[in-house]
Amino acid sequence: MTEIAMPQIDAPGSKAQMRERAIQRFAWNDGFFRLLTQGAALAVLLILGGVIGSLIKGSIPAFQTFGFGFFTTQIWNPVTEKFGALAPIYGTVVTSAIAMAIAVPLGVGIAVFLTELCPPALRRPIGTAIELLAGIPSIIYGIWGLFVFAPFLQTYLQPFIIEIFSNVPVLNSLFAGPPYGIGILTASLILAIMVVPFVASISRDVFDTVPPMLKESAYGVGCTTWEVIWNVVIPYTRVGVIGGVMLGLGRALGETMAVTFVIGNAHKISGSLLAPGTTISASIANEFTEAVGDLYTSSVIALGLILFMITFVVLAIARIMLMRLEVQAGR
């Protein structure tokens, strides 16, 4: 039957045939577009795979030479080609920890102010200003830190800290030594300033997800504003705030330019927070183009791999936390 029917459809220029062709073309284009988008989505995975793969490949010589000792030694000597990552890892962890200890209370405080206390007329302008500041390139913070903040610390804050803690047992070694201006503490403070807008804007968004009815019922039974924040808003949004904090931590850990300007780039672990140090990202930025020899280059790439792994874990936790909040809010 089809054989008989075919010639009729095949007649050139017939409506049915044109329709058939159009549908075929549509179907082909449709499939092509779908594959194109799917390919692009796969490319995102490929980029991540490429990043991890190339870093692993580049760092093989370093790990083969130094083994696990790469993580536990702080010698960093390009002349004798002995490299250990302990000092940069220490610097990264310490600067980020101090930065978060300062930035989290400040950021959450700002978010509380914006959501609960701020006059409505100012709420949008201040919120927008904070979001814009979160987008300012980190090199700006770096140049400000080098020329304005570090000299300020050197002449005013650091001598003062050294002075008052000079007789306190633990703190005098933590804040010992000449006031260089640049160093671990300065880098931590700059990082804190950079992270504050992040924590503040995410916390504000998260606080806004609290259903007004919950807050109103707490006010209804006579809670003070602080009690509503502490007993209703924060428990309800805990996961999201932690997610925002982790996101800020991810930024602090990987931050390069702001830190490179003010940390002093010294490959040693010093007991004093005022002494120069280094972080993983600052070491890479300072030394990668100067690295001569395969082992030196490979050691710097190995630092990059360590940094990527640390931030990957932190950011993954952050995303999982924020996703859990989204599920909760969707319920």
Partner 1 sequence: MSSDSASARYPARRRRNAIWLGLSVAAAAIGLIGLVMILVVLVWKGFAGLSVAVFTQNTPPPGSAGGLLNAIVGSLLMTVIGVAVGTPLGMLAGTYLAEYGKYSRLAMVVRFINDILLSAPSIVIGLFIYEVMVAPMGHFSALAGAMALAVLVVPVVVRTTEDMLNLVPNTLREAGSALGMPRSLVIQRIGYRAVRAGLITGVLLAIARVSGETAPLLFTALNNQFFSTNLLRPMSSLPAVIFQFALSPYEDWQQLAWTGALIITLAVLALSIAARALTATTQQK
Q: Which of 247, 253, 242 is CA-nearest to residue 93?
A: 253
Residues 101-130 that bind partner 1 (CB under 8 A): 105-110, 112-114, 116-118, 126, 128-130
By CB under 8 A, residue 177 contacts partner 1:
no
By CB under 8 A, residue 14 contacts partner 1:
no
By CB under 8 A, residue 64 contacts partner 1:
no
Could you give the CA distance from residue 190 to residue 15 in angstroms, rounded to a whole number?
Answer: 71
Residues 127-166 vs partner 1: string with x where CB under 8 A? Answer: -xxxxxx-xxxxxxxxxx-xxx------------------
For 180, other C-beta atoms within 10 Å of its C-beta total: 18
Half-sphere CA count of 289, side-chain side, radius 13 A:
3
Q: Which of 145, 148, 92 is CA-nearest to residue 309?
A: 92
Cβ proximity to partner 1, 125 vs 271, nearer residue:
125
Residues 191-220 that bind partner 1 (CB under 8 A): 193, 196-197, 200
Provide the total of helices (H) and of strands (E) in the chain, helices listed first.
16, 2
Nearest-approach distance from CB 317 to partner 1, in angstroms? 11
Residues 215-234 that bind partner 1 (CB under 8 A): 224-227, 229-230
Could you give the CA distance from residue 287 to residue 296 in angstroms, rounded to a whole number?
Answer: 9
By CB under 8 A, residue 292 contacts partner 1:
no
Residues 253-272 that bind partner 1 (CB under 8 A): 253-257, 260-261
Q: Are 85 and 306 in contact (CB under 8 A)?
A: yes
By CB under 8 A, residue 242 contacts partner 1:
no
Applying CB under 8 A, the span of 63-71, 81-89, 231-239, 283-291 interacting with partner 1 comes to: 283-291
Residues 312-331 that bind partner 1 (CB under 8 A): 312, 315-316, 319
Q: Are 287 and 301 in contact (CB under 8 A)?
A: no
Could you give the CA distance from residue 12 to residue 20 in angstroms, rounded to a whole number?
Answer: 12
Nearest-approach distance from CB 4 to partner 1, in angstroms? 29
